């Protein structure tokens, strides 16, 4: 039975009839076709998708939606449709019963349709149970059903009008009802239901509207409109952003990647067993019988061996692959649809040539073109959306994984990557992946597009296509070579950039020291040298880029030229007509995209593979062995800490830094560890914390541990948060802790009390305050074991005594806890239970104070030498009086330390807003507590001035030349295409075109000129970019170095590093390429519009309104997009700042076991950043959908007017117009993308320039000042009525100081915390300019000098020794101004000669970042050597002996006494015994001179100095 018999009993109703459908002026489909195919198509669609959709719903349950009116209506209409279909079936049966012969189709189709409607109704309810608010599957079903029914609807109306006799009233009625119900169902399925119960959206204050949006709204990105309108009305702010979708959050994404990565790592680790025979030695001092009797044990040790490298790629694929695969489906559909355009163009040209064709066909093709373009648009944008979301999750996952890894890597691994490199992994490398994800599908999609294009071209032109293919194949190796070269350069550039950022990081951290030593220029030259090599590489990349741009702009043209030439020359009868030429051109244009993209994708993949390798190496680093410290074994024993036969090294391969360590510390005892600098005291604590590699032995600790590091680690948070450190706030206990740690006086002074924000690395606290906060943090957390690494060194004597009594000592807060105290202070030793004496990484003696003194060993000599000198017993005190050393200085010069006063930090210069010395002011405004300035997001449009700045940086001539070359290129391109249209319209005589060769020659020549122009503009833009980035970086570096200290205290280093890393990178590599693309797409759009107008002038009616719409959409979008981009970049800094901070404090975080809290904090910062990024992506999609719609309208109108004017229009012109129109969509889209990219990226120029407008220091060198060459020759200092303030709005910090110091005098400066001791030295170096009075040195007023003239002629030994990474020689003498002999002589006097000559590289020993591979004491001696090398007449000593043991301290003091005998020495003293033999002492109090005279006369006066001396046990 054929289909015809199926439709009608006698076969009179055929399935298809060409005369009826295609050749008629009023087309219609046969009833058979309508009753079968049009009914079955929607049914088939639903039944095929049903099983997949059912499974999808089953596994994706979002919760349950309550019955709503919408749902009731949908269900009701579904049932009604089912009833209507059954009515048709019953009517058919009734007709049969009447004895009418009936075709089977009248039973089968309604039955099938009825069952399908039931299925649809089932899905409506099932979706409700699974929480689907709006369904695409169902919407598509209703839409297909309506489209199919519309065709029948038209036919039925035509039939009723033309042949009223054939109408069956019942069937007509049911059909009209059916059609109406379908329309209603379609409308209802466009609406979105309420959110399901218990969903995130209900609880969320500002949920992302995407989840609840309807399907239509999702595919057109309509749901973001509200945000866009808001962004257009006023600049968007933080609070306007939606919460992140739960599946994009860190807590969901990161663990997935970490899990899969661990799986990959475990796959490559193969366990291998080896047998160890270990004889056991009885441990010293243990009872013999306590030990089990086996003398040796045979140990089976399972060690993991690596069999290969774990694959990060596989882990990423497993994590993000499934979601990403969806995008490939979209991409395939889109790629196929791309080729519909040229095919329709072919039909249109045929239609214009064939005058007999009915005119409706032209309109039909036009409509088809429009529908196809729109579908293509929606699918492409959906594809991009999936890609970008995947990219975003990828970035979140990588940052999270790197952060988690950074918390557990060993010290050895940590040394292989600097902070800068690790931060780069998070910023640059994660970004690379994000960018690659959007293009990665091109790897298979580009070849697919090429193959399809070639297939259609072959159909069109036959074998001559092969000529074109040959040209393309030739282009591939050229591009590949360029890509390989570019990769090599890129690696070199990354290396330079890492080096530069690392150096900048150090410069910014040690800026205080650079200023005091007047070393800015040396470091500027170092940075500039790296930068120059970076720019040389950039230039090479630019030339390569120009060549590749040239190849890919010329490629499509050469392909077309060679193909057409071969085609017309092979055979005289081959005529190039409009259809062949323009369909081929449209296909060549399609080809251009994949061919352009492939090299770009390949280079992008190459970059990503470099990043992948860096990430893999970092994520595969060794981790600390969590079991190296045993927390369980010791539970039954009385010992709180025990180490048996321990030997430890800093990394696996090293020699042990600690050997033969045996320690048993009973619970609740107080243990002191003493020894010379570098003997391993801090290492012992690190070993207890499990920070060192345990080579042999066992370590066990009972209970929780708190740790106070030697250099306090302070977070950028409030003071309270620093102390509470994530524990719950217990007010009573908190008060006791703060009081015991002597922090109450500081809280009085800090502008916001304990809510004061502390800057990065604690810049607005003095050294003593930082140390006390660090101690308070440990005490507050209330642990069982306390490891204290010399916490008393940085505080004044009386404060140290207070802390020992109240906190550490036998009666302190910590009594009953186990305390291990590393100390240099002798005065506390009598009160401790056990003293461990360390020499060269071994414990040589252990015992109580009296025992050790009795043994007459090294310890006894040590004590006698030092104690006799100043120890005076005070009978009233049971304990010996505070000895010569305890505690010491306060930070004057920290790394980036702010200018601070002593422990009380009276004017702690709370970086930005301190309440000044007015400690009396008790107001506590929340503003006062704020400190760092966050990176501000500018609002509003980017000013044209910024573009002008950039043009000036390039050079105006060069800029204009580039634009002119662009113009030439596009003119040539237009000319060649117009010439082609004239050629195709040439009349054909005897089967050939007469002036074929002339046409071909001109076409070729136009193409060649196009290529030359491209090459030239590409070179000029790239070179301009390099010039601009050199100029901008240079000025920024100079401006930053010229800024005063207050600027660095206000600006977080993260922001500055961001400028030198991210913004500079943008200016280097992003902006030039964006400018190229922007100009290219702009000229493309203009030339397309010109051609379309030329061919069909009617389009002029349409272009202005479309242009307006386009402009409005673009402005509307840019307003929001720019602001989102700014919010995103502002929220990016905190991610890196927090990461930086974590890296500096990993040992503290691990000791306190706070890793999880820090991971959560990092995650929330990343999420916060992505919260601003996500709307940005969606806004891009929103824009693209709207713009492409504008583009599609242009195509349609161009085609429509061409169809209308088909009698007057030549096929060549029509082909030209439409092939250009087909391109316009892509160009328009690209133009807006590029213009907004340009706007957002040019912000980098704005940010780099903004440091040009900040305040600057006085000039470094003054031409006018003629200083005598050896000035100062005498070192006579006269201070007249001197005063200074830290900020305009604050009171004077010191005032009315008038003192005369003769040349060669030694003057000690003392005073209680916050008396203004440091402020005076800052005034002397003009770190802060005077507010009143003046200082004269040898009769020269220092305020008349250039800063470098002044600072290079006086020397300071700062308190915090700052070293820079580089050679030791560079650290002593960055300008290479001294000979090697002089440097060695200085080292000898600084007692470093033996140490340095023992190093393998001697003076070229590489210091690591911050000098971390030298001990603190050695760094201090290096600073002394610097001073000895400069040997100026005036030496300022900010008492820097805190971190130094007593012997070294004596060495320093004696060196200063002998070497600087004839110099003026000013010492800020915390330990009075160092200045008792000075000529005079200056006592400051509350910023004024209180007493001034010789030490003996001041003691006789019984004033402030006497009281201080009494406190120190000196009188």
**308: CB partners within 8 A, 6+ apart:** 268
Tens-place pLDDT, residues 362-393? 899 999 999 999 999 999 899 999 999 999 99
Question: Tokens representing 742?
Answer: 């002597």
Tens-place pLDDT, residues 1168-1215? 999 989 998 898 888 888 888 888 888 888 888 888 888 887 888 888
Q: What is the pLDDT of residue 901?
A: 31
**1249: CB partners within 8 A, 6+ apart:** 946, 949, 1032, 1035, 1036
pLDDT > 90? residue 187: yes
Tens-place pLDDT, residues 740-777? 888 888 888 777 777 888 877 777 777 778 888 889 98
Q: Which of 280-289, 879-888, 1054-1063, 1292-1301 has the lowest mean pLDDT?
A: 879-888
For residue 1493, report the phi and psi dihedrals to the nearest 5 degrees: 175, -175
What percent of the chain has pLDDT above 90?
Answer: 9
Q: Which residues pair with 278 in a beta bridge?
A: 297
Write down the mean pLDDT value for the chain: 81
Tens-place pLDDT, residues 898-919? 333 333 333 333 333 333 333 3
Q: Which residues pair with 623 in a beta bridge?
A: 409
pLDDT > 60? residue 1502: yes
Question: Tokens representing 197?
Answer: 């119960």
Burial 464-502 (b: 16+ CB within 10 A, else e): bbbbbbebbeebeebbeebbebbbebbebbbebbbbbbb
**1164: CB partners within 8 A, 6+ apart:** 250
Strand intervals (E) in 411-523: none
pLDDT > 80? residue 1107: yes
Q: How many angstroms separate the first and last alpha carbons of the chain?
A: 126
Read off the pLDDT of each residue in 669-678 and give the average, rounded to a whole number.
84
Q: What is the pLDDT of residue 1446?
A: 66
Could you give the 3-state DSSP secondary structure of residue 78? Answer: helix
Contact 201, 195 (CB under 8 A): yes
pLDDT > 60? residue 925: no
DSSP H stretches of helix in 1208-1296: 1211-1250
Burial 622-633 (b: 16+ CB within 10 A, else e): eebeeebbeeee
Q: What is the pLDDT of residue 931?
A: 57
Q: What is the pLDDT of residue 144?
A: 93
- pLDDT band at residue 1163, thresholds of 50, 70 and 90? very high
Q: What is the pLDDT of residue 77?
A: 92
- Bridging pattern class, strands 1406-1407 and 1434-1438: unpaired
Burial 581-608 (b: 16+ CB within 10 A, else e): bbbbbbbbbbbbbbbbbbbebbbbbbbb
**Residue that is written with structure tokens 């661990």 in the block:** 262
Read off the pLDDT of each residue in 189-206 and give the average, rounded to a whole number.
76
Q: Which residues pair with 298 in a beta bridge?
A: 277
Distance between CA atoms of 1347 and 1325, rounded to whole angstroms? Answer: 8
pLDDT > 80? residue 837: yes
Which of these, 755, 1438, 1412, lies nearest to 1144 by C-alpha position?
A: 1412
The radius of gyration of the chain's CA atoms, rounded to the nearest angstrom, is 41
Tens-place pLDDT, residues 33-62? 888 888 999 999 999 999 999 998 888 877
Tens-place pLDDT, residues 543-602? 888 888 787 777 778 888 888 888 888 887 788 888 888 888 888 878 777 876 776 787
Which of these, 760, 790, 1011, lies nearest to 896 by C-alpha position?
A: 760
Which of these, 1255, 1435, 1291, 1265, lies nearest to 1343 by C-alpha position?
A: 1265
Specify the DSSP element, H or E, that contains 352. Answer: helix 340-353
Of 800 and 1264, the one with more pLDDT: 800
- pLDDT band at residue 1428, thresholds of 50, 70 and 90? confident
Distance between CA atoms of 1415 and 1418, rounded to whole angstroms? Answer: 5
DSSP H stretches of helix in 741-808: 744-749, 767-780, 797-803
Concatenated DSSP letters for 86-133? HHHHHHHHHHHHTT----THHHHHHHHHHHHHHHHHHHHHHHHHTT-S
Specify the DSSP element, H or E, that contains 372. Answer: helix 360-406
Q: What is the pLDDT of residue 934?
A: 56
Tens-place pLDDT, residues 128-158? 888 888 888 999 999 999 999 999 999 888 8
From residue 164, give the alpha-carbon distance in Å to each of 71, 158, 172, 502, 1319: 40, 9, 12, 89, 107
Distance between CA atoms of 1131 and 1166, rounded to whole angstroms? Answer: 8
Q: Which residues pair with 834 in a beta bridge?
A: 671
Q: How many helices (H) and strands (E) does the chain have?
A: 52, 24
Contact 981, 1215 (CB under 8 A): yes
Contact 1442, 793 (CB under 8 A): yes
Q: What is the pLDDT of residue 933?
A: 59
Contact 772, 742 (CB under 8 A): yes
pLDDT > 60? residue 411: yes
**99: CB partners within 8 A, 6+ apart:** none
Q: What is the pLDDT of residue 186?
A: 93
Specify the DSSP element, H or E, that contains 701. Answer: strand 693-701
pLDDT > 60? residue 1001: yes
Distance between CA atoms of 673 and 711, rounded to whole angstroms? Answer: 17
**Residue that is written with structure tokens 């309420």 in the block:** 194
Distance between CA atoms of 1449 and 991, rounded to whole angstroms? Answer: 106
Read off the pLDDT of each residue in 1493-1497 and give the average, rounded to a whole number.
88
CA angle 540, 550, 490 (to 5 degrees): 30
Contact 738, 1283 (CB under 8 A): no
pLDDT > 50? residue 603: yes
Read off the pLDDT of each residue in 1318-1339 and give the average, rounded to a whole number.
86
Read off the pLDDT of each residue in 1009-1022 and give the average, rounded to a whole number.
86
Which of these, 840, 408, 407, 411, lies nearest to 650 by C-alpha position?
A: 411
CA dihedral 907, 909, 910, 913 (to 10 degrees): 100
Contact 1497, 1482 (CB under 8 A): no
Which of these, 1152, 463, 417, lies nearest to 782 by C-alpha position?
A: 1152
- pLDDT band at residue 1011, thresholds of 50, 70 and 90? confident
Residue 856 CB neighbour total at 10 angstroms: 10
pLDDT > 50? residue 1044: yes
Q: What is the pLDDT of residue 634?
A: 59
pLDDT > 90? residue 185: yes
Read off the pLDDT of each residue in 1464-1489 and give the average, rounded to a whole number.
84
Strand order in the sheet with 670-675: 705-708, 785-789, 818-822, 670-675, 834-839, 842-847
Strand intervals (E) in 517-563: none
Which of these, 1007, 930, 1209, 1166, lies nearest to 395 by C-alpha position?
A: 1166
Is cis: bond before 1272, omega within 30 of 0? yes
Specify the DSSP element, H or E, that contains 1437. Answer: strand 1434-1438
- pLDDT band at residue 1260, thresholds of 50, 70 and 90? confident
Read off the pLDDT of each residue in 1331-1337 and give the average, rounded to a whole number.
87
Which of these, 502, 491, 511, lies nearest to 1060 by C-alpha position?
A: 502
Contact 584, 461 (CB under 8 A): yes
- pLDDT band at residue 83, thresholds of 50, 70 and 90? very high
Contact 674, 834 (CB under 8 A): no
For residue 977, report the phi and psi dihedrals to the nearest 5 degrees: -70, -35
């Amino acid at each position: 039975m054929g289909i015809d018999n199926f439709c009608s009993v006698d076969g009179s109703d055929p399935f298809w009839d060409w005369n009826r459908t295609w050749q008629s002026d009023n087309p219609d489909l046969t009833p058979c076709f309508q009753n079968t195919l049009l009914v079955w198509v929607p049914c088939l669609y639903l039944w095929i998708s049903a099983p997949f959709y059912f499974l999808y719903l089953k596994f994706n349950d979002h919760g349950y939606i309550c019955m709503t009116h919408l749902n009731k209506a949908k269900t009701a209409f579904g049932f009604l449709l089912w009833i209507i279909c059954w009515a048709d079936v019953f009517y058919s049966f009734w007709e049969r019963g009447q004895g009418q012969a009936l075709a089977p189709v009248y039973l089968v189709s309604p039955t099938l349709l009825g069952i399908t409607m039931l299925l649809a109704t089932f899905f409506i309810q099932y979706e409700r149970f699974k929480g689907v608010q709006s369904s695409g599957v169902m919407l598509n079903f209703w839409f297909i059903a309506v489209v199919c029914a519309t065709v029948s609807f038209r036919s039925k109306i035509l039939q009723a009008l033309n042949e009223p006799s054939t109408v069956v009233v019942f069937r007509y009625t049911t059909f009209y009802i059916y059609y109406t119900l379908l329309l209603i169902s379609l409308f209802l399925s466009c609406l979105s239901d309420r959110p399901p119960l218990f969903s995130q959206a209900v609880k969320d204050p500002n949920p992302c509207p995407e989840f609840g949006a309807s399907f239509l709204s999702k595919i057109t990105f309509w749901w973001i409109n509200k945000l866009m309108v808001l962004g257009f009305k006023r600049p968007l702010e933080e609070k306007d952003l939606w919460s992140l979708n739960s599946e994009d959050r860190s807590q969901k994404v990161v663990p997935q990647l970490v899990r899969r990565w661990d799986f990959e790592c475990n796959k490559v680790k193969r366990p291998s067993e080896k047998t160890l025979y270990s004889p056991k030695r009885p441990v010293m001092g243990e009872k013999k019988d306590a030990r089990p009797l086996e003398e040796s044990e045979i140990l089976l040790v399972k060690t993991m061996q690596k069999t290969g490298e774990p694959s990060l790629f596989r882990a990423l694929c497993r994590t993000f692959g499934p979601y990403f695969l969806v995008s490939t489906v979209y991409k395939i559909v889109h790629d196929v649809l791309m080729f519909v355009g040229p095919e329709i163009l072919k039909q249109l040209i045929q239609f214009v040539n064939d005058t007999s064709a009915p005119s409706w066909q032209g309109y039909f093709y036009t409509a088809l073109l429009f529908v196809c373009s729109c579908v293509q648009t929606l699918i492409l944008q959906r594809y991009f959306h999936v890609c970008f979301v995947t990219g975003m999750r990828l970035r979140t996952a990588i940052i999270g994984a790197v952060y988690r890894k950074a918390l557990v890597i060993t010290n050895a691994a940590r040394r292989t990557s600097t902070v800068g490199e690790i931060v780069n992994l998070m910023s640059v490398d994660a970004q690379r992946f994000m960018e690659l994800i959007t293009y990665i599908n091109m790897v298979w999609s580009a070849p697919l597009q090429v193959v399809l294009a070639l297939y259609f071209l072959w159909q069109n032109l036959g074998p001559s296509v092969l000529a074109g293919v040959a040209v393309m194949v030739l282009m591939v190796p050229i591009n590949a070579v360029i890509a390989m070269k570019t990769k090599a350069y890129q690696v070199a550039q990354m290396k330079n950039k890492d080096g530069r950022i690392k150096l900048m990081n150090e410069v910014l951290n040690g800026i205080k020291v650079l200023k005091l030593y007047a070393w800015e220029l040396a470091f500027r030259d170092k940075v500039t040298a790296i930068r120059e090599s970076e720019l040389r590489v950039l230039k090479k990349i630019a030339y390569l880029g120009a060549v590749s741009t040239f190849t890919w702009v010329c490629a499509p043209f050469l392909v077309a030229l060679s193909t057409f030439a071969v085609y017309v020359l092979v055979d005289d009868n081959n005529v190039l007509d409009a259809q062949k030429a323009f369909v081929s051109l449209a296909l060549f244009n399609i080809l251009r995209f994949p061919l352009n993209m492939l090299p770009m994708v390949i280079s992008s993949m190459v970059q990503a593979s470099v990043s992948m390798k860096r990430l893999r190496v970092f994520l595969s680093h060794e981790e600390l062995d969590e079991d190296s410290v045993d927390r369980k074994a010791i539970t039954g024993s009385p010992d709180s800490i025990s180490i048996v036969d321990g030997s430890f090294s800093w990394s696996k391969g090293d020699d042990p830094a600690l050997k033969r360590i045996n320690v048993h510390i009973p619970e609740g005892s107080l243990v002191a560890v003493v020894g010379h600098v570098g003997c391993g005291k801090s290492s012992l604590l690190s070993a207890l914390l499990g920070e060192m590699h345990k080579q042999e032995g066992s370590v066990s600790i009972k209970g929780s541990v708190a740790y106070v590091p030697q250099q306090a680690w302070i977070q950028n948070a409030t003071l309270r948060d620093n102390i509470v450190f994530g524990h719950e706030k217990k007010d009573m206990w908190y008060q006791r802790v703060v009081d015991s740690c002597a922090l109450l006086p500081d809280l009085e002074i800090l502008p916001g009390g304990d809510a004061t924000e502390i800057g990065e690395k604690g810049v607005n606290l003095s050294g003593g305050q930082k140390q006390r906060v660090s101690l308070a943090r440990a005490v507050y957390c209330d642990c069982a074991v306390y490891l204290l690494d010399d916490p008393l060194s940085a505080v004044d004597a009386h404060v140290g005594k207070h802390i020992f009594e109240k906190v550490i000592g036998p009666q302190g807060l910590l009594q009953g806890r186990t305390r291990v105290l590393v100390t240099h202070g002798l005065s506390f030793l009598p009160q401790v239970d056990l003293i461990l004496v360390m020499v060269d990484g071994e414990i040589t003696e252990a015992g109580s104070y009296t025992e050790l003194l009795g043994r007459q060993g090294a310890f006894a000599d040590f004590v006698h030498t030092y104690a006799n000198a100043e120890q005076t017993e005070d009978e009233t005190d049971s304990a010996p009086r505070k000895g010569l050393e305890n505690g010491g200085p306060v930070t004057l010069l920290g790394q980036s330390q702010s200018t601070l006063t002593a422990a009380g930090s009276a004017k702690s210069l709370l970086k930005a807003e301190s309440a000044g010395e007015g400690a009396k002011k008790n107001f506590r405004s929340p503003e006062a507590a704020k400190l760092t300035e966050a990176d501000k997001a500018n609002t509003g449009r980017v000013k044209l001035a910024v573009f002008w700045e950039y043009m000036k940086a390039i050079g105006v001539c060069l800029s204009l030349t580039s634009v002119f070359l662009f113009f030439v290129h596009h003119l040539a391109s237009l000319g060649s295409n117009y010439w082609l249209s004239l050629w195709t319209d040439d009349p054909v005589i005897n089967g050939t075109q007469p002036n074929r060769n002339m046409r071909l020659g001109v076409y070729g020549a136009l193409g060649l000129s196009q290529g030359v122009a491209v090459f030239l503009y590409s070179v000029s833009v790239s070179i301009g970019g390099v010039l601009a980035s050199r100029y901008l970086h240079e000025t920024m570096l100079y401006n930053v170095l010229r800024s005063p200290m207050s600027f660095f205290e206000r600006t977080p280093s993260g922001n500055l590093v961001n400028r030198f890393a991210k913004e500079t990178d943008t200016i280097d590599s992003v902006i030039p390429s964006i400018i190229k693309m922007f100009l290219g797409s702009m000229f493309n759009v203009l030339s397309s519009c010109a051609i379309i107008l030329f061919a069909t002038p009617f389009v002029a009616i349409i272009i202005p309104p479309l242009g307006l719409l386009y402009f409005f959409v673009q402005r509307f979008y840019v307003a929001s997009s720019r602001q989102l981009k700014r919010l995103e970049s502002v929220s990016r800094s905190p991610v890196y700042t927090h990461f930086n901070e974590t890296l500096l404090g990993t040992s503290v975080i691990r000791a306190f076991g706070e890793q999880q809290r820090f991971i959560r904090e990092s995650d929330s910062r990343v999420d916060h950043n992505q919260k601003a990024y996500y709307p940005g992506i969606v806004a891009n999609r929103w824009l693209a959908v709207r713009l492409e719609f504008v583009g599609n309208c242009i195509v349609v109108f161009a085609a429509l007017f061409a169809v209308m004017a088909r009698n007057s229009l030549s096929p060549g012109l029509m082909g030209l117009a439409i092939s250009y129109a087909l391109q316009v969509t892509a160009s328009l889209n690209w133009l807006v993308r590029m213009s907004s990219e340009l706007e957002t990226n040019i912000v980098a120029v704005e940010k780099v320039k903004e440091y040009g407008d900040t305040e600057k220091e006085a000039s470094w060198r003054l031409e006018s000042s003629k200083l005598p060459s050896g000035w100062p020759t005498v070192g006579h200092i006269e201070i007249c009525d001197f005063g200074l303030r830290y900020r305009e709005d604050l009171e004077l910090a010191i005032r009315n100081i008038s003192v005369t110091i003769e040349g060669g005098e030694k003057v000690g400066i003392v005073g209680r915390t916050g008396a203004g001791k440091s402020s005076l030295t800052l005034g002397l170096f003009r770190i802060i300019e005077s507010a009143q009075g003046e200082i004269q040195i040898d009769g020269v007023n220092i305020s008349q000098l250039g800063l470098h003239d002044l600072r290079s002629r006086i020397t300071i030994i700062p308190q915090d020794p700052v070293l820079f990474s580089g050679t030791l020689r560079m650290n002593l003498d960055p300008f290479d101004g001294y000979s090697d002999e002089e440097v060695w002589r200085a080292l000898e006097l600084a007692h470093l000669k033996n140490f340095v000559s023992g190093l393998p590289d001697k003076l070229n020993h590489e210091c690591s970042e911050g000098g971390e591979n030298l001990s603190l004491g050695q760094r201090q001696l290096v600073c002394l050597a610097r001073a000895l090398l400069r040997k100026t007449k005036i030496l300022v000593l900010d008492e820097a002996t805190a971190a130094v043991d007593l012997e070294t301290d004596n060495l320093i003091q004696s060196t200063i006494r002998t070497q600087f005998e004839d110099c003026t020495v000013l010492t800020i003293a915390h330990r009075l015994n160092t200045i008792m033999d000075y000529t005079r002492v200056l006592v400051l109090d509350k910023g004024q001179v209180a007493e001034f005279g010789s030490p003996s006369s001041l003691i006789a006066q019984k004033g402030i100095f006497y009281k201080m001396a009494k406190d120190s046990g000196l009188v």
